[in-house]
Amino acid sequence: MSDKKEKFCEDRTFVLSAEQHKKYDEWRKEKNKKNGEVYVGAIGGAYSFCFTPTGIGTMVKVTCADGTELDLTEYEYF
């Protein structure tokens, strides 16, 4: 396997900061108060987290199964 291919296959881990996690929890709780918990079946998966690394920072977006989105990007660190 070439060096280029090996580098591409490295594992990546993305972590939410404490502030991002708090913002997500508050958003989710507020959504549940208004509309109830989003039901997506036995396996769950109501929320998708999208991490997009860029040259200046990582964009973080959460999408709910009902189509609403939350931007958790910490632009102040860009």
- Number of domains the chain is built from: 1
Which are the contacts of 31, defined by CB distance < 8 A and separation ≥ 6?
38, 64, 68
51, part of any domain: yes
52, part of any domain: yes
45, part of any domain: yes
Residue 27 φ then ψ, to 5°:
-60, -45
pTM of the full structure: 0.78
Bridge partners of 61, per DSSP, are 50, 71
pLDDT tens digits in sequence order for the chain, 78 residues long: 455 555 666 788 999 999 999 999 999 999 888 888 888 888 888 999 999 999 999 999 999 998 999 999 999 999
Tokens of 21: 């996690």
5, part of any domain: no
Is residue 36 a contact partner of residue 28, using CB atoms and an 8 Å limit?
A: no
Domain span at residue 49 reads 14-77
